[in-house]
Amino acid sequence: MSLHCPKCGGVVYTRRNKLCGFCGAELPPGFLLTEAEIAALEKAEATHREQKAKQDAEELERLKDAGPPPAFYRS
């Protein structure tokens, strides 16, 4: 389902912003995420960032432990 600005007809790409990204008109309250929905999304995004950072750190350690690449891969 895509939402469109009632004033200009532009696609509403995010339900977090109160204003249309094309014409700047105020969007109807029904278009917007509730405070609870925003909080839940922010929590999920923070959890994802933490997990990604942990995975990246583990991968970096794995690569460090593997040693340098074979000579034919070096430039």
The predicted structure's pLDDT at residue 73: 63
Per the DSSP assignment, residues forming a β-bridge with 11 are: 4
Q: Is residue 34 helix, strand or coil?
A: coil
Burial label, 16 (beta-carbon count in 10 A; 0-12, 13-18, 19+): exposed
Instruction: State how far Cα 7 lies from the chain centre.
Output: 27
Q: Which two tokens stand for residue 34?
A: 């509730």
What is the structure's pLDDT at 74? 58
What pLDDT sits at residue 52? 97
Going by C-beta distance under 8 Å and a sequence separation of 6 or more, which residues neighbour residue 2?
11, 12
Residue 38 CA to residue 41 CA, distance in Å, equals 5
Per-residue pLDDT of the chain (75 residues; tens, 9 = 90+): 789 999 999 999 999 999 999 999 999 999 999 999 999 999 999 999 999 999 999 999 998 887 777 676 655
| pLDDT value at residue 75 | 58
pLDDT computed for residue 2 by the predictor: 87
